[in-house]
């Protein structure tokens, strides 16, 4: 028995951005707790490495490479999961990009890409998955927003505004579909040590220790810590959590 239990035994979970830091940890946590996990990412190599690691550990995971910004690819991907596994019980909308810059430093393409990946993808994925969840009598959706969607850090306007949209999307979807038994929640992480964060450090010249020093808890977050929260929100242990926006920050204030 996994040390965390088997809260997802018999469930099918689809995790986007499953090749990245938080997504691969979420996939591992859900699979470790018994889910059949579909590891989704535009980066087939990264998602394949996540899925392979889980399969090597004897867990049920498989790779599904597609671009979350393409409604056609999303529909085909969800249809293939439903064909193969019978439905989708848990959807983790976690793929994201962070195009840095204040308004005058950004291109229109940066702005559009931020919204395509961080927001429009949720529209495509939820529209594809919700009818299956409703048919099945319920389901759980967890969206990865960001602390910066609630408290915007300077110099990241496209990212912050897109993550604010994820927050309101989550609350709105929860209110519309709670009557059908679909719970929708969002996590709002502060700084978490992932490839996305490493890319930011390379650009800024800062170090992990610099970021650690800004967190009252003494260090930035770990992907596994966000994954644990995602799993809790997706699990039957959170039956009355619906429309909740949960910050996970080590008490860090945005400055
Ligand atoms: P990451 O870069 O490690 O992972 C993101 C993954 O999303 C990558 O594997 C990437 O290939 C995938 N992706 C990007 N565009 C895609 C597309 N069009 N289609 C399919 N997949 C695509 O980043 P991470 O830090 O693990 O971030 C995961 C989520 O957490 C993101 O939504 C991010 O905004 C959010 N977040 C991260 C932090 C942090 O400090 N790392 C903080 C708050 C929120």
240 noted as active-site residue: no
Residues 183-204 have a mean pLDDT of 96
Question: Domain for residue 240, yes or no?
Answer: yes
To test the ligand 1 pocket, which listed residue (64, 91, 96) has its Cβ within 8 A of the most ligand atoms? 96
Ligand 1 close to Cβ of residue 94 (< 6 A): yes
pLDDT at 254: 81
Mean pLDDT (the chain, rounded): 97
List the structure tokens of 68.
Answer: 């979350």
Ligand 1 close to Cβ of residue 32 (< 6 A): no
Which residue among 159, 164, 230, 233 is the active-site one? Answer: 159
To test the ligand 1 pocket, which listed residue (14, 21, 195, 210) has its Cβ within 8 A of the most ligand atoms? 21
Residues 228-243 have a mean pLDDT of 98
Q: Is 85 exposed, middle or buried (0-12, 13-18, 19+ CB in 10 A)?
A: middle
Question: Domain for residue 254, yes or no?
Answer: no
- Going from the Cα of 96 to the center of ligand 1, the distance in angstroms, rounded, reads 4
Question: Domain for residue 255, yes or no?
Answer: no
List the structure tokens of 97.
Answer: 């990009």
Ligand 1 close to Cβ of residue 96 (< 6 A): yes
Question: Domain for residue 7, yes or no?
Answer: no
Question: Domain for residue 101, yes or no?
Answer: yes
Is the pLDDT reported for residue 69 higher than 70?
Answer: yes
How sure is the predictor about 96, in pLDDT bands with cuts at 50, 70 and 90? very high
Number of domains in the chain: 1
CA–CA separation, 21 and 27 (whole Å):
10
CA–CA separation, 159 and 152 (whole Å):
9
Question: Domain for residue 116, yes or no?
Answer: yes
How sure is the predictor about 255, in pLDDT bands with cuts at 50, 70 and 90? low
What's the number of CA atoms in the CB half-sphere (13 Å) around residue 68? 31
Residue located via tokens 């759980």: 140
CB under 8 Å to 12, separation ≥6 — which residues?
35, 36, 38, 81, 85, 86, 87, 88, 89, 90
Question: Domain for residue 3, yes or no?
Answer: no
Rg over alpha carbons for the chain, rounded to the nearest Å, is 17
Ligand 1 close to Cβ of residue 200 (< 6 A): no
Question: How is 179-210 classified by DSSP, letter by letter?
Answer: GGTEEEEEEEE-SB-SHHHHHHHHHH---HHH
List the structure tokens of 56.
Answer: 């090597």
Domain of 165 in residue numbering reads as 12-248
Question: Domain for residue 5, yes or no?
Answer: no
Residues 54-68 have a mean pLDDT of 98
**Residue 235 belongs to domain with CATH number:** 3.40.50.720
CA–CA separation, 31 and 12 (whole Å):
9
Q: What is the widest separation between alpha-carbon atoms in the chain?
A: 53
pLDDT at 4: 82
């Amino acid at each position: 028995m996994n040390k965390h239990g088997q809260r997802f035994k018999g469930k099918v979970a689809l995790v986007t951005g499953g090749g990245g830091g938080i997504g691969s940890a979420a996939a591992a946590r859900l699979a470790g707790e018994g889910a059949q996990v579909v590891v989704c990412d535009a980066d087939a190599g990264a998602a394949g490495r996540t899925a392979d690691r889980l399969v090597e550990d004897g867990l049920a995971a498989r790779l599904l490479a597609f671009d979350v910004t393409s409604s056609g690819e999303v529909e085909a991907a969800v249809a293939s999961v439903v064909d193969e596994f019978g439905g989708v019980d848990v959807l983790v909308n976690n793929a994201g990009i962070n195009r840095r810059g204040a308004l005058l430093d950004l291109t229109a393409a940066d702005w559009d890409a931020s919204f395509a990946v961080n927001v429009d993808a949720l529209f495509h994925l939820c529209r594809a998955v919700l009818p299956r969840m409703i048919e099945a009598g319920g389901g759980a959706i967890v969206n990865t927003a960001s602390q910066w969607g609630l408290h915007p850090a300077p110099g990241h306007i496209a990212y912050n505004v897109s993550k604010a949209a994820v927050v309101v999307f989550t609350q709105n979807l929860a209110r519309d579909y709670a009557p059908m038994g679909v719970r929708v929640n969002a996590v709002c992480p502060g700084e978490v040590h992932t490839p996305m964060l490493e890319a930011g450090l390379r650009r800024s010249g800062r170090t992990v220790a610099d970021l650690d020093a800004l967190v009252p808890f003494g260090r930035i977050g770990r992907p596994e810590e966000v994954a644990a929260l995602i799993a809790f929100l997706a699990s039957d242990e959170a039956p009355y959590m619906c429309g909740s926006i949960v910050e996970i920050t080590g008490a860090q204030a945005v400055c």
